[in-house]
Chains A and B, each alone.
Chain A
């Protein structure tokens, strides 16, 4: 039994280094330096070394985690600058007409990026009752998960952020 138990532990502990590393919602909450609800403002391109970044200004409507001002500038890899387009697969496509919840990470250099590329962007929509819902693409919790997009109310997300971030602190 001991050997089998070790197998189980080994399985649940498996992470794999890859282009993207799947993060659970709780992991994203813990690893974010800020979680904000906001809309996309201006976008401009800048280059850092060999990488072109889109600098996206997010107009902050609400802060679920972390402190800061009315806007936050976020770097998204890839973009166009000086007549060239640099492409990276998996980069989130943001619309200036939409509202999102962003899971953000500010690194030692002081620049802020979105956790896990498109993983850290939840679209905000109103349901038929006018309740704000955050929506993310289907993720797996393993055997038994429905494939429909998982949604949760904004209130439920706020509660979860407080619980997870508060528990860590």
Chain B
């Protein structure tokens, strides 16, 4: 899924590793110092640090009109990918297929199951861990307790819960957060309870969520950014489970809960200016067993309630002291002495707005809209409450807070803003009875109204492939169109005409997909169309048919290739996946090798229980599941196997061009066989072995192979051969033909000079006449990398790559290489003289 860099944007606002969130926590001692230990997945116990999500093949018993199991499965996968796509988290989350409940799992897994849920319960999610707390596992980022598996429970009757709705999707993302080890937060993130959650389907994760998952599964052991720490006391005694929030005017809000001794530590705070405030957990409300629905660490109580206060001890946000934080800063001693209060005056506030006829939560207000007000409701919120917007540019006029005339249960808050007010979230502060309540991301200011679909027309392109053109308003160049949970490729957007044309994902005739437009500003077409009035697209394709897997079994502890044949309508390359329905089985890589043929490299972990599993293929909204279609056999006593993918020996790339050097790793008895006893073939063509040392096989990719997939076999008469493996054959790398400056060839007699515009004539960069974006091309001169300024196609098939020679390149002869999408040419000698 394209995220428009929403994760990247969040990272700009908040570096990874900040403690904004809450985890499932244990304290290893009952006295100071209180070092928290978190429950989380052990990345070393996962294949490729990836926890698979398996969906129960039983499915729901009832769904909303127009909904389907395939649509629901696509939304589940989309929600799981939301967490997978956090670059600062080392944990990956992938779809592992469908399973039969009761299937034993040998490795950590997230199961999505369907069970009877009583009225009032939409979904449940959470981890499973050993009853007897094991010794904490040591890791670079600190000790932890491993999660064995996690479960998301959805109701069997989903007839009132359409899978395409904003709320259902966010519930899925929220529950997946629990399965990964996150508990509820209080900063309006997706891990907040639905009362205060301020994220949307278009922007499902807040900086706080990203910080939480990144601190739990850090890519780097040391979080970036600064640290804010201190202690919260009452009467001189430290109080636990108090929330301390660092809130910035640009929208980020991150927090930490205090340890039993009152100490807190907010890590990885990005550069910026923050206000700091301490607030108690809200009381447990109807439906919650504990405050904020947080499962408390054992032997830790829910904490005392107190009056919310800004640092350094003021209830006036305008008098609060801003804190400047830079990377590496440790701001210590930011302490709070709080005053006891039986219960907060106001808490649990929800805001709504009306861009159209649908109530949108949280409130989104548009500069170009006509309804400049929001509605708020919450515990203890009355018309006499004070309300202010934290940060400038948006104000509340005199008399702008009053009961909503059409429903006095809600408070109406009028807001004044203009084009100069900018975009983004704004925080709200409510005050009553000498107490404060801060609602981070109380509303979002946008420049445009939400996208709106008023019409849907089906057409075809020049090749007869289906196209869908949506008409309406609010479509932008960054708009994304979902068909259920599957993103579509955008062909064109006409903002002024209000149309967007996309290539729909494949679906079988009779299937309907809910069509939703998501905009980068956090808004979606669901803001204008209720879930009951969503636009549908009727698919016209053919079914996938049944599946045939060859070979249909694999021994535990080995990996290798399988072929999956489908019997129905041809497969397409977009939104294509295959899975094997067991936590011990993973598809390392998948190729579309023919209209009805898939080739996959499969890994069976050593502990995979023997037995049959379900094979599934999903292509767009088409789905085919073959229960029992694949069998895991017990591990052999002495079995040989490939280990890991075949890669380019020099670069580690997964696709190797003809003539390039490939490297494969093997294990087992075959490692003891001398090179003279091995026969290596690639697509049945014998290849020369360059080296065979310690189980590492190196060989050149022979001529005659076409780009795509090839089958690598290693055989020997000495012992049982390993299962064949598939490898990727790349297009040949580009070739540098010559280098010029101002039309003059660069050579020893006429070296290049830093600052000059250098032209490199290259073949093999792309097809004849193909336009190539300069962003795809880099030029390396010695150790200095250069961005391509321009790439121009030439008659005859070559391209000219122009770049400005960097001043950092010293005089002398340097290898020059041109790379496109990571494929690098051989070095071309470039002489350089001093300025």
Contact = CB atoms under 8 A, between A and B. Distances in A.
Given A51-B113, A142-B377, A18 B167 contact: yes
A146 B132 CA distance: 43
B283 interface: yes
Contacts of B359: 7, 10-11, 14
Interface string B174-186: 1100100001100
B408 A142 contact: yes
B123 interface: yes
B361 interface: yes
Contacts of B175: 19
Contact of B118 (A16, A52, A105): A105
B286 A8 contact: no
B120 A16 contact: no
Contacts of B148: 84
B378 A140 contact: yes
B293 interface: yes
Interface of chain B, main secondary structure = loop
Interface in A26-41: 27-28, 31
B122 A85 contact: no
How many residues of A sit at the interface, in one of the four size bands?
Answer: 35 or more
Interface string B262-306: 000000000000000000000111111100011100000000000
Contact of A89 (B161, B194, B295): B295
B193 A19 contact: yes
B131 A83 contact: yes
Interface in B101-116: 101-102, 111, 113, 115-116
Contacts of A87: 24, 126-129, 295
A52 to B, nearest CB: 8
B119 A31 contact: yes
Nearest to B411: A143
B409 interface: yes
A146 B193 CA distance: 21
Interface string B2-27: 00000000000000000000001000
Contacts of A101: none
Interface residues of B, number: 78
Contacts of A54: none
Contact of B379 (A80, A85, A92, A138): A138
A143 to B, nearest CB: 5
A21 B120 contact: yes
B282 to A, nearest CB: 10
Nearest to B402: A143
Nearest to A5: B406
Contacts of A27: 119
Contact of B121 (A21, A93, A111, A141): A21
Interface stretch (B332-340, B350-358, B732-740): B350-358
B407 A8 contact: yes
Given A11-B410, A92-B289, A111 B116 contact: yes
A89 B184 contact: yes
B542 interface: no
B361 A16 contact: yes
Interface string B357-375: 1110100000000000001
A116 B194 CA distance: 14
A146 B285 CA distance: 13
B161 A86 contact: no
B122 A89 contact: no
A91 interface: yes
A8 B407 CA distance: 7
Contacts of A78: 126
B131 A16 contact: no
A108 interface: yes
A157 interface: no
A115 B285 contact: no
Interface in B382-425: 382-383, 403-404, 406-411
A90 B24 contact: no
Contact of B407 (A12, A92, A117): A12
Contact of B167 (A8, A17, A142): A17
Interface in B58-106: 101-102
A49 B102 contact: yes
Given A16-B361, A89-B183, A116-B118, A141 B409 contact: yes
A139 B404 CA distance: 20
B560 interface: no
B440 interface: no
A140 B115 contact: no
B257 interface: no
B354 A19 contact: no
B328 interface: no
Nearest to B343: A147
B354 A20 contact: no
A110 to B, nearest CB: 9
B116 A113 contact: yes
B118 A137 contact: no
A58 interface: no
19 contacts: A4-B406, A11-B406, A16-B361, A17-B122, A17-B165, A18-B171, A50-B111, A83-B130, A84-B129, A86-B151, A87-B126, A89-B289, A109-B116, A113-B117, A116-B118, A120-B120, A143-B403, A145-B379, A147-B343
Given A18-B122, A20-B287, A143-B381, 20 more contacts: A12-B407, A14-B352, A18-B167, A18-B170, A19-B171, A20-B120, A50-B111, A51-B151, A86-B126, A88-B153, A107-B118, A117-B287, A142-B377, A142-B408, A142-B410, A143-B410, A144-B408, A145-B380, A146-B380, A147-B380
